[in-house]
């Protein structure tokens, strides 16, 4: 489905983060009807991802997809989705 993507990646330096982000970016680039709106780094932490997701959801009103690099950050993003509505 068409829409905007935002990524909450782990960090800028570790191989795990770089490889996970490369996979997500590769997927986005292959899909004609989606675009990457913004990428931020959550330092693998739920609390940081929560705060970032709240900002991203308010900044980008057309977000359809929100990707995180691990489960903990996903939990923070889910909580932000619930809080923002």
> Given this structure, which CATH class describes domain 3-84?
alpha beta
Q: What is the pLDDT of residues 44-74, one digit of tens each?
A: 999 999 999 999 999 998 899 999 999 999 9
Tell me the torsion sign for CA atoms 77, 3, 20, 25: negative
Tell me the torsion sign for CA atoms 1, 83, 37, 47: negative
Helix (H) or strand (E) holding 3: strand 3-9
Place 26 in a pLDDT band, splitting at 50, 70 and 90.
very high
The rounded distance, in Å, linking the Cα atoms of 46 and 73 is 4
Listing from the earlier edge strand, what are the strands of the sheet with 63-68? 34-41, 3-9, 63-68
The answer to whether 62 and 6 are in contact (CB under 8 A) is no
Is the pLDDT at 3 greater than 90? The verdict is: no
The pLDDT value recorded for residue 72 is: 97
């Amino acid at each position: 489905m068409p829409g905007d993507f935002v990524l909450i990646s782990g960090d800028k330096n570790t191989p795990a983060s770089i490889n996970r982000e490369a996979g997500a970016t590769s997927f986005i680039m292959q899909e004609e009807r989606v675009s990457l709106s913004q990428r931020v780094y959550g330092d693998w932490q739920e609390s940081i991802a929560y705060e970032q997701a709240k900002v991203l959801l308010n900044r980008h009103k057309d977000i359809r997809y929100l990707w995180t690099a691990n489960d903990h950050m996903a939990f923070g993003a889910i909580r932000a989705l619930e809080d923002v509505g």
